[in-house]
Amino acid sequence: MKKTLTIIIANKLFLFAVAILAVSFFGLGAIYNENLETYDSGYRFLNQWSLWDSNSYIQIARDWYYGRYFAYFPLFPIILRLASYLTLGNFALAGLILNTALSLGAGYFIFKLCKEEIGDNDSGLWANIFLFFFPTALFFTAIYTEALFLFLAVAMMFFMKKKNWWLVALFGFFAAMTREVGGVLVLPIAYVVLRDFKTRKIKKTLSLVSPILGTCAVLLIYYLSSGDPLIFLEKHSEFGKTFSLPYTPIINAVRDLFAGSIYAGWNLFCFLFTVILTWFVYKKFPKEYFLYCLAILIPPLCSSNLEGYSRYLLTAFPLFMVLATYKNKPMRIAYLLLFVPLLVLFCARYVTGAEWTIPL
């Protein structure tokens, strides 16, 4: 367990070093300066982790909802606001500390689940290495919702394994308040509850509906803030995300790939990566892990394009658990040799906010 937590701390320090060095190589570009107009932490290093959507979460935490910010779910900004009181109002510092703590918590629960399902400590260590050194894992450090959602979802799955239904309900409720896919976590909970149908209890029923209740809480917040509980759908469309059939974003990505888009190719690779590993999750682990992966990975396929898919897959932690079941040393080395340089590149792209960057 100590090795796992050491790996996550090492990951954070590694990314911090990349952020510092990236400025020397690439400078600071348009997005950095644009975001600086709406939020300045007072320190360049902290500002580097407050770009893109990070800036939006800070705006909500500071000023609450207005305009396009209704596209973002409320729990993370609320917690960020509370954490900022401990950092004397510095939202960027609060976000870095918060996501570091949440990453450690998520890593702990992933380690424990690996020990339960696979039966050894080595698998828990490698599941975390595979996850936290995936190319887009920088978003566990940046002020995004990935670390919070991962922590809540892994904790929910862990306590479901332990049949602690009150905690399942608690973590399921808050996961649904963090991201849109949180409501779909009803799938793995329903499977386990129905599988053990003979022992129905109120707390099991509460855990079953907790993701739905969390989604309802979000809709209530939107209604009280804007008068429209579904305003987030309108704001998503302004970001180019509209409802579609699951095959539409794949077709669009293939078309863009043939038009020369490297970004489309990367997202298609990530899609194939998740399809293959989800199949192995189905074969190797209890079916609730497979249903969890479907809950995380199918909703992004219903949003007209694959933009951001390589980031969304981060919270599908069973994919990385199943990778850890393979003890092949050359495979593990190949994974790191392929993906760590990409992590460095993507981190540099993000923290510089240069004109050559695009959100992942």
Q: How far apart are CA 43 and CA 59, in angstroms?
A: 17
Mean pLDDT across the chain: 91
Angle at 191 between CA 163 and CA 130, to 5 degrees: 75
Give the burial string for 290-316 (b: 16+ CB within 10 Å, else e): bbbbbbbbebbbebbbbbbbbbbbbbb
Sequence-distant (6+) residues with CB within 8 A of 56 are 68, 69, 71, 72
With cut-offs at 50, 70 and 90, classify the pLDDT of residue 359.
very low
Q: How far apart are CA 235 and CA 237, in angstroms?
A: 5
58 touches 50 (CB < 8 A): yes
Q: What's the DSSP call for residue 84?
A: H
Side chain identity at residue 92, one-letter code: A
Residue 196 has a pLDDT of: 74
70-75 mean pLDDT: 94
Give the burial string for 139-169 (b: 16+ CB within 10 Å, else e): bbbbbbbbbbbbbbbbbbbbbbbeeebebbb
Q: How far apart are CA 287 and CA 293, in angstroms?
A: 10
Residue 158 has a pLDDT of: 97
Residue 197 has a pLDDT of: 66
Q: Is 99 exposed, middle or buried (0-12, 13-18, 19+ CB in 10 A)?
A: buried
Residue 200 has a pLDDT of: 60
Q: What percent of the chain has pLDDT over 70?
A: 95
103 touches 144 (CB < 8 A): no
Residue 31 has a pLDDT of: 87
Per residue in 211-224, pLDDT (tens digit) is 999 999 999 999 99
Residue 308 has a pLDDT of: 87
Residue 263 has a pLDDT of: 87
Sequence-distant (6+) residues with CB within 8 A of 153 are 171, 175, 182, 185, 292, 296, 315, 317
pTM of the predicted structure, to 2 decimals: 0.95
Query: 316 pLDDT exceeds 90?
Result: yes
Query: 354 pLDDT exceeds 90?
Result: no
4 touches 124 (CB < 8 A): yes
Q: Is 93 exposed, middle or buried (0-12, 13-18, 19+ CB in 10 A)?
A: buried
Per residue in 5-29, pLDDT (tens digit) is 899 999 999 999 999 999 988 888 8
Per residue in 115-160, pLDDT (tens digit) is 999 988 899 999 999 999 999 999 999 999 999 999 999 999 999 9
What is the DSSP secondary-structure string of 202-250? HHHHHHHHHHHHHHHHHHHHHHHHHS-TTHHHHHHHHTT-----TTHHH
79 Cα distance to chain centroid: 16
